[in-house]
Amino acid sequence: MLLDKLINYLKLDKQEFLFQFNSHPNYPSALAFSDTLNFMGVRNDAYELDKEYWDELPEEFIAIVDNSFSLVKKSGSQYSIYSDKAKTLDKNELYKKSTDFVLLFEKDKVEHKAATNYKSLIYAVFAVILIYSLISLSWYEIVFTVLSLAGVYISQEIFNQKFGNTSTVIGSICGETTGNQNVNSCQKIINDDKTSILGLKFSDFSLIYFIGITALGLFLPATSLVIKGFTFASLIAIGYSLYVQGFVEKTFCRVCLLIISVLVTQLLIGLFFFENTVFDIRTALLSIVLWIAVFSIVLYLNNTLHDKESLQKSNAKNLRFKRNYELFRRELLENEKVTFSDNETFFVGSKEAKLHLSIVSNPYCGFCKDAHKIVENLLEKYPDDISVQMRFNYTPDKQNEKFTNLISDFMYTYKNKPAHEFLHLVEYWFENKDENKIRQKTGNVSHNEDLAPLIEMSEENRAAGLNFTPIILINGYQFPDKYDREDLYYFIDELTEDEEINTKMVFDI
C-alpha cells in the first residue's frame, strides 16, 4: 500500500508514519490509519457516507480509492487524487472507484522533530567539488566530473529506495505519471536484482564506482590513465545490464539506461581527450586503497540500514501486541482503584472532563520532568476531555526551607494566577531547577501560603502506597508498570471512549 503522495501532501515524516501505521494493532484497517494520523498531529473523524452526500464534503478529504487511502481534492468538476501517484478523476469515476469511507481531517499546529537532512550535506559536497573543478580543471574534465556527480546522485537515490525511501527523481525518470508499466519495469529490474556480493546488489556497485571515479577525478590529469582503465572496465557492467534488461527481464529500465549513457559518455571523453600518462605505481596503489575504502563504507551502510530496517519491522510487529488496547485495559484494571478526598488542590483542566489524570511527583525528582511533560502535552491536546491534578509529595518536618518556599510559590501561583501560568511555572521549574528564578517569576514575597491541603494530599498519597515518584493514575487506576509512560499517548483516544473507565469525575465547585 503506497501512500507517498498523500504523506508528502500532508507534510508528514514518511518513515515515522509508516512505522506507527504498521505497528498499530489493527493494521492495515481504516482505524489504524485514522489513529496514526491523529498521533502525527492530523486530527480527523471517519464516516461511512453514501455518495449522494459527498457533494457536501469539504474541498479536501481522505477516501479509499482503488483500495488505497487517498487524499481527494476538489478542483471544479474534477477531483485530484493523491496516493501512490497523482491522478485526476471526474465525479463518476471517483464514485465508482471508491468506497463509502471518508475521513475529514484538520492539521494541528504541532511541531515535529525534523529528521536529519543528509541531502543538504550531499549538495554541499557536490558544490565544493564543482567549484574546485571549475577553478582547476579543463572543460572536458569538468564535464567528466559533472557526469560522475550525476552518477553518484542517481545511484544513491536507487540505494535509498532499497530501504523504503521513495525517490521523486527516480519516479520522474521512470515515467511515474505516464503509466504503471514504466514504473514497474524500473522497480522490477532494480528490486529483483539477484546479484549479491557480501550483500551488495549490482546497483550498489554503481554507487561505489561513481564515488570512486568522482574522487579520482579531483586529481586529474595525474589519474587520467587509471580513470581511463576504469571507464573501459565499465563496459562489462554495461554489457551485463543490457543483457539482463533485454534477455532476462525483457523490459528496459529508464534509470538504468540513463546510467549506461553516463558511463558511455565518460568512456568517450576518456578515450578521445584524456592523455596517456606514464603508469605510476603510487597512483595505482592509492586508487586501490580508495576503492577499498569506498567499498567498505557502502558495505557498512548497506548492512547497517538493512539491520535497522529488519529491527523496525520486528519492532512494528511487537508493538502491535503492546499497543493492543484490550491488553492495556486489562493491565490497568488489575490495579486497585485509588480514591482521593482532595481532587482540587493543583487541579487544572475542565471539571467536566471524563478522563482525569493524577500525577504523583516531587519537584526534585529527576524522572518527574518527563512525566509532567506527558500529562501537560495531553492536557494541551485534549483540553475538553482530560483534566489533571498534580499531587506533590511534601512532608514539612522532613523538607528543607528551599523545598517549602518552592511549594509555597507553586501554591501562590495556583491560587492567584490563571491555570496556564501555573502549568508554565511547573514546566519552567523542571527546565531550570532554580528556586530564585521561580521566586522572581511568581512575585511571592511573603511565603505565608497555607500548605495544609498539600500536606493532607501527601498523607493520602502515602496511605495509598504512592511513595515513589513519578506515578500516573488514570481515573484512580495506576498506570501499569509493564508499559512505558510514553505509551499513554497511544491509548488516549480509546480511554476517552471507554464507558467503564471513563466514568465522569465529580468535583465540588
* Longest CA pairwise span in the chain (Å): 94
Does the structure show a pLDDT above 90 at 264? Answer: yes
Give the pLDDT band (50/70/90) at residue 505: very low
Q: Read off the C-alpha cell for 349.
A: 483542566
SS (H, E, C) 322-363: HCCHHHHHHHHHHCCCCCCCCCCCCEEECCCCCEEEEEEECC
Give the model's pLDDT for residue 509. 36
Which pLDDT score is estimated for 265?
A: 94
Residues 345 and 249 in one domain: no
pLDDT confidence bin for 111, thresholds 50/70/90: very low
For 116-124, the CB contacts below 8 A with 24+ separation are 122/153, 122/156
pLDDT in tens, 426-450: 999 988 888 888 888 887 666 677 8
d(CA 158, CA 203): 7
Q: How far apart are CA 448 and CA 218, in angstroms?
A: 75
Q: Look over the chain and give the mean of its residue pLDDT values, rounded to a whole number.
A: 81
Q: What is the CATH number of the domain that holds 490?
A: 3.40.30.10
Kindly state whether residue 284 falls inside one of the protein's structural domains: yes
In the predicted model, is pLDDT for residue 398 greater than 80? Answer: no
Q: Would you say 83 and 69 are in contact if contact means Cβ atoms under 8 Å apart?
A: yes
pLDDT digits (tens, 9 = 90+) for 31-75: 778 878 877 777 777 788 888 878 888 888 888 888 888 888 887
Cβ-Cβ contacts under 8 Å for 48 (sequence gap 6 or more): 100, 101, 102
Q: Are residues 103 and 215 in the same domain?
A: no
Distance, CA of 325 to chain centre: 23
pLDDT at 98 over 80: yes
Same-domain pairing of 302 and 351? no
Per-residue pLDDT averaged across 76-92, rounded?
79
In this structure, the answer to whether residues 73 and 147 fall within a common structural domain is no
Q: Is residue 185 part of a domain?
A: yes
* Most confident residue range from 280-289, 314-323, 499-508: 280-289
Which residue is listed with cell 532494480?
Answer: 190
pLDDT in tens, 154-170: 888 888 777 766 666 77
pLDDT band at 110 (very low <50, low <70, confident <90, very high): very low
Q: Looking at the structure, tell me whether residues 370 and 448 fall in a common domain.
A: yes
pLDDT, one tens digit per residue, over 170-181 is 767 775 443 444
Query: Does residue 295 share a domain with residue 384?
Result: no
Residue 103, helix vs strand vs coil:
strand
**Is 321 within the bounds of a domain?**
no
- Residues 169, 272, single domain; the answer is yes
User: Could you tell me which residue, 314 or 205, shows the higher pLDDT?
Assistant: 205
User: Which long-range contacts (C-beta less than 8 Å, at least 24 apart) are formed by 137-143?
Assistant: 137/217, 137/220, 140/269, 140/273, 141/217, 141/220, 141/221, 143/269
Cβ atoms of 234 and 277 closer than 8 Å: no
315 belongs to a structural domain = no
CATH number at residue 148: 1.20.1440.130
Last residue of a domain, one of 107, 132, 155: 107
Q: Are residues 378 and 353 in the same domain?
A: yes
Q: Is the pTM of this model over 0.75?
A: no
Mean pLDDT of 276-290: 83
What CA–CA distance (Å, rounded) separates 260 from 292?
Answer: 23
455-483 tens-digit pLDDT: 888 888 888 888 888 889 999 899 988 88
Enclosing H/E stretch for 169: helix 168-173
**Residue after which a domain boundary falls, among 64, 79, 107:** 107
Residue 109 has pLDDT above 70, yes or no: no
Residues 71 and 158 in one domain: no
pLDDT category, 331, cuts 50, 70, 90? Answer: confident
Number of structural domains, the chain?
Answer: 3
* Gap between the Cα atoms of 146 and 39, Å rounded: 43
Which of 264, 291, 309 is a domain's end point?
Answer: 309
Which SS3 state, helix, strand or coil, does residue 390 take? Answer: strand
Give CA separation, 399 vs 427, 431, 455, in Å. Answer: 21, 21, 12
CA angle 184, 79, 173 (to 5 degrees): 30
Say if residue 486 is in the same domain as residue 340. Answer: yes
In a domain, 207, yes or no: yes
Give helix then strand counts, H and E, for the chain. Answer: 19, 11
Would residue 112 count as lying in a domain?
no
The verdict on 280 and 354 lying in the same domain is: no
Is the backbone peptide bond immediately before 396 cis, with ω within 30 degrees of 0?
no
On whether residue 320 sits in a domain, the answer given is: no
| Residue 204 Ramachandran class (φ > 0 left, ψ -120 to 50 alpha, else beta) | alpha
Find the CATH number of the domain harbouring 72. Answer: 3.90.70.10
Best mean pLDDT range from 12-26, 163-177, 380-394: 380-394
C-alpha to C-alpha distance for 491 and 333, rounded to whole angstroms: 14
How far is 399 from 454, CA to CA, in rounded Å? 13
More confident residue, 306 or 348: 348
Residue identified by cell 504523506 is 7
Q: Domain range spanning residue 191?
A: 118-309
Residue 67 lies in a domain: yes
Cell of 98: 471508491
Pair (271, 122) in one structural domain: yes
Query: Residue 460's CB: how many other CB atoms inside 10 A?
Result: 17
Highest-confidence segment of 36-45, 106-115, 224-233: 224-233
Confidence of residue 320 (pLDDT cuts 50, 70, 90): low
